[in-house]
């Protein structure tokens, strides 16, 4: 407990930063001199290392609904969102639908984080809310969004949900009483994200896909990228003094990474038209602002922009300077007449600079990988490797969600460290500063593990935990059982002292321009690792499987007798007086049994009588005639 507290003191910002700033942001001029609903659309284009281009769309709707007590009359905000917030006491909601994996080592950090598949987490807060209520509301919420976004979020239930303890901090104005805040987190790593999610996602926008930047999001092009991630983030910001004076903020993001080599062109030039299949036909008429930001620093340096930008902005954040060219779409489309707007990036022609393009990107301060070790279908080890390339130690929190079909053994949890340049891990271990462990329960709960520790400068940490794979019941295997089962990504959080590679929006901001010059003492960074596939012991669901089952049954049945034959002593009694005739044999047996108390053979006369006495206990080979006529006398 003391160590945990001490650790939290190391991270004061992680806990307290969200508390203060939103209050400032909330009561700023915009809420006073605008009408109460606003929509902004933004596009950020960043050339990345290795001929990749990141395009980030952000559509923000902000509704200062003030003291209204119902949210049924919406203008720009989709009603479903506003309504859901109130119905289920949701204060903050994040949904991410992602295909692919963000490569930190070569691409730096994304503006918004997401893990592969579907990911969802939400904060609930209301007076008199209990844990059970939240569980129920969480499932209902997931079901609603399963319909809204056409995702299988309806599979979110208590078996794959956890309540993170340290890693997520609320981004809304929360009341001082933390006992009234509840958070739930779930991932569906197997979810495949496709057009069917993009279309409903676009429908949430005020202009839909009719005009504005959203027209660029054509599924044919969006899904040919190396990484695409759709995000929905909703939060409610309320005045600390007046809890009824609130803002609903809906941020929809689409984060794409294009691989220029896949566009099948020889040069490194590209354009909006090349990336999205068409130019821009205008801005969304409902938008208060509509801007395109193009990164001119780093990889962006070598490109010439056609047309040249209207103006450039230099932003210094955490000792790291970035230059952005800004295109204002509202200015661009001011005049009458239809036209298409396109930006082209013209790369350098000389071959020497194309060589420099191939050089490796400088590694970001912190990155992580996860993999499964061990062979066989019985047990394995989950290993999470976190590397700190920074010159100072970094505080790390890791959250693992291990599904119920994999048993994790806490006593095998180890954090080993090595200097960054070495390849293998020695026996040197790091100490936990914080450990939260909620054991899983078969078919009911997944294991939830949160670990906090300090990662020394320029070193890597390998967190390993041993797991056993469970043999499932035969109906619990999904279709394509041999594909394997997924273990969701680990979430890793830290506080970076520098702004290198860091592009996320500050907590209190809601537009990309809010990240200009947003220097802070520390930057909260959240990373996601790869998901894992484990092959659980899978029966061969086929004819041989049935044959094996049958054969095993036969063996099991035969085992008893064979065992007794092999272990029992067989003593054969020789009966010399046994008659040959079958009928007589029977007769002989009967008489023998009757005479058991007195082992000597009965005389002939008594035989009939003895038979009658013992008749009911005898087997049915006894002639029926005899039994039918004799029973009355006994009764």
Partner 1 sequence: MGLLSDPSLSTHNKLVDNLAKHVRKVCYAFYTAGVVWFLCLALPEFNHGTYLSENALSPGLVYPEIRIDANRLAVQLLEELQRERKDHQSTTPHAWILAKFNEFGLETHTHNYSLRYPFGGGKEFHGKNIYGILRAPRIGSTEGIVFSAPYRAPSSVHVEISPSVPLLLAFADFARRKNYWAKDLIFLVTEQEQLGMQAWLEAYHDGDKTPDSSNSYLLSGNLPARAGSLQAALNIEVQDLEIDYVDVKIEGLNGKLPNLDMFNLVQRIMAREGVTSGYKQTPRKKRRSSLSNFEQNLRQMLAMLATQSSGVPNGNHGLFHRYRIDALTISAAKRVTNSNVKSNPTSSAVPLLKAIEGIARSLNNLLERFHQSFFFYVIVHNDRYISIGDYMPALVALVACSFIKAYLTWSTLDASAIVLSQETIALKPDTKSLKLSLPYGSVLIYLAVVLLIGYLANVLPLQHYILELPLNAAPLTATILIALSLIGFVLPFVVILPDGGLELLHISLLLIYGCTLIVIGLLNFSLGFFVGVLTVPMVVALNTSTRNSTLRSLARVWTLLLNPLVVIYIIVLVMSFHQFPELTMQQLLLRAATAAMDAAAFALVDSVIYGNWLYFAICTIFLPIWIICWTLALARRRGNEIHQPKLKTN
Residue 477 Cβ, how far from partner 1 at the closest point, in Å? Answer: 11
d(CA 64, CA 82): 12
Kindly state the smallest distance separating residue 560's Cβ from partner 1, in Å.
6
How far apart are CB 307 and partner 1 at their closest, in Å? 30
Whose tokens are 């996860």? That residue is: 370
70 vs 542, which CB is nearer to partner 1? 542
Three-class secondary structure of residue 387 per DSSP:
strand
Toward partner 1, which CB reaches closer, 248 or 465?
465
Q: Is 91 left (phi over 0), alpha (psi -120 to 50) or beta?
A: alpha
Closer to partner 1 by Cβ: residue 80 or 586? 586
Q: Nearer to partner 1 by C-beta: 23 or 192?
A: 192
Instruction: Give min distance, CB of 552 to partner 1, in A.
Output: 16
The answer to whether 155 and 394 have CB atoms below 8 angstroms apart is no
For 142, how many CA atoms within 13 A lie in the half-sphere containing its CB?
25
CB of 145 to partner 1, least distance (A): 22
Closest CA to 370 of 226, 167, 528: 528
- Count CA atoms within 13 Å of residue 398 on its CB side: 30
Tell me the closest approach of the beta carbon of residue 425 to partner 1, in angstroms: 6
Least distance (Å) from partner 1 to the CB of residue 246?
A: 37
Closer of 117 and 506 to partner 1 (Cβ): 117
The tokens for 413 are 């949890």
Nearer to partner 1, 475 or 571 (CB): 571
User: How would you write 265-328 as a 3-class SS string?
Assistant: CCCCCEEHHHHHCCCECCCCCCCCEEEEEEECCHHHHHCEEECCCCEEEEEEECCEEEEEEEEE
- Do 327 and 309 meet the contact criterion of CB atoms below 8 Å apart? yes
Q: Give me the residues that bind partner 1 (CB under 8 A), please.
A: 50-51, 98-101, 103, 106, 116-117, 224-227, 259, 261-262, 264, 358, 369, 371-377, 381, 383, 416, 423-427, 462, 464, 480-484, 486, 530-535, 538, 540, 557-558, 560-562, 564-565, 568-572
- Minimum CB separation from partner 1 for residue 377, in Å? 8
- 338 versus 427: smaller Cβ distance to partner 1: 427
Q: Is 549 exposed, middle or buried (0-12, 13-18, 19+ CB in 10 A)?
A: exposed
251 vs 464, which CB is nearer to partner 1? 464
Pick from 180, 179, 140: nearest CA to 161: 140
Measured between its terminal Cα atoms, the distance across the chain in Å is 81
CA quadruple 373, 396, 185, 229: dihedral positive or negative?
negative
């Amino acid at each position: 407990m003391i160590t945990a507290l001490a650790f939290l003191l190391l991270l004061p910002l992680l806990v307290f930063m969200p508390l203060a700033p939103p209050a400032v942001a909330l009561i700023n001029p915009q809420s006073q001199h605008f009408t109460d609903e606003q929509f902004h659309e933004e596009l950020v284009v960043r050339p990345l290392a290795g001929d990749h281009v990141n395009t980030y769309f952000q559509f923000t709707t902000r509704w200062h609904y003030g003291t209204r007590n119902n949210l049924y009359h919406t203008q720009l905000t989709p009603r479903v969102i506003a309504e859901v917030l109130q119905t289920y006491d949701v204060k903050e909601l994040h949904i991410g639908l992602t295909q692919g994996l963000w490569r930190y080592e070569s691409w730096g950090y994304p503006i918004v984080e997401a893990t592969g598949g579907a990911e969802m987490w939400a904060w609930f807060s209301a007076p008199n809310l209990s844990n059970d209520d939240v569980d129920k509301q969480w499932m209902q919420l997931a079901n609603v969004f399963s319909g809204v976004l056409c995702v299988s979020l309806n599979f979110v239930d208590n078996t794959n949900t956890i309540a993170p303890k340290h890693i997520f901090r609320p981004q809304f104005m929360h009341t001082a009483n933390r006992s009234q805040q509840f958070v739930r987190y779930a991932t569906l790593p197997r979810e495949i994200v496709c057009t069917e999610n993009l279309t409903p996602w676009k429908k949430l926008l005020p202009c839909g896909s009719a005009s504005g930047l959203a027209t660029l999001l054509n599924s044919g092009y969006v899904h040919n990228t190396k990484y695409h991630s759709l995000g929905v983030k909703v939060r409610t910001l309320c005045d600390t003094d007046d809890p009824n004076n609130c803002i609903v903020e809906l941020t929809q993001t689409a984060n794409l990474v294009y691989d220029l080599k896949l566009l099948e062109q020889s040069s490194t030039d590209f354009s909006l038209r090349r990336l999205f299949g068409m130019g821009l036909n205008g801005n969304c008429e409902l938008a208060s602002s509509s801007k395109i930001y193009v990164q001119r620093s780093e990889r962006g340096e070598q490109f010439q922009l056609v047309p040249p930008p209207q103006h450039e902005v230099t932003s210094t954040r955490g000792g790291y300077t970035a230059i952005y060219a800004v295109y204002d779409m509202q200015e661009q489309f001011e005049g009458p007449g239809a036209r298409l707007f396109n930006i082209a990036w013209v790369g350098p022609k000389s071959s020497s600079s194309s060589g420099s393009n191939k050089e490796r990107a400088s590694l970001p301060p912190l990155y992580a990988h996860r993999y499964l070790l061990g062979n066989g279908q019985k047990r394995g080890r989950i290993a999470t490797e976190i590397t700190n390339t920074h010159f100072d130690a970094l505080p790390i929190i890791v959250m693992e969600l291990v599904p119920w079909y994999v048993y994790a053994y806490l006593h095998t949890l180890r954090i080993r460290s090595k200097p960054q340049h070495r390849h293998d891990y020695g026996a040197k271990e790091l100490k936990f500063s914080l450990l939260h462990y909620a054991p899983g329960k078969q078919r009911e709960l997944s294991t939830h593990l949160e670990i906090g520790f300090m990662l020394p400068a320029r070193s890597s940490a390998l967190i390993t935990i041993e797991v056993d794979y469970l043999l499932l019941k035969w109906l619990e295997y999904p279709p394509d059982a041999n594909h394997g089962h997924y273990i969701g990504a680990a979430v890793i959080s830290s506080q970076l002292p520098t702004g290198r590679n860091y592009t996320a929006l500050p907590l209190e901001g809601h537009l990309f321009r809010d990240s200009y010059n947003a220097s802070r003492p520390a930057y909260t960074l959240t990373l996601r690792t790869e998901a894992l596939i484990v092959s659980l012991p899978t029966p061969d669901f086929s004819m041989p499987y049935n044959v094996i089952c049958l054969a095993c049954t036969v063996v099991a049945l035969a085992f008893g007798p064979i065992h007794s034959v092999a272990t029992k002593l067989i003593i054969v009694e020789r009966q010399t007086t046994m008659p040959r005739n079958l009928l007589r044999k029977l007769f002989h047996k009967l008489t023998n049994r009757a005479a058991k108390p007195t082992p000597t053979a009965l005389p002939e006369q008594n035989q009939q009588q003895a038979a009658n006495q013992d008749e009911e206990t005898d087997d049915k080979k006894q002639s029926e005639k005899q039994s039918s006529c004799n029973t009355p006398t006994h009764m």
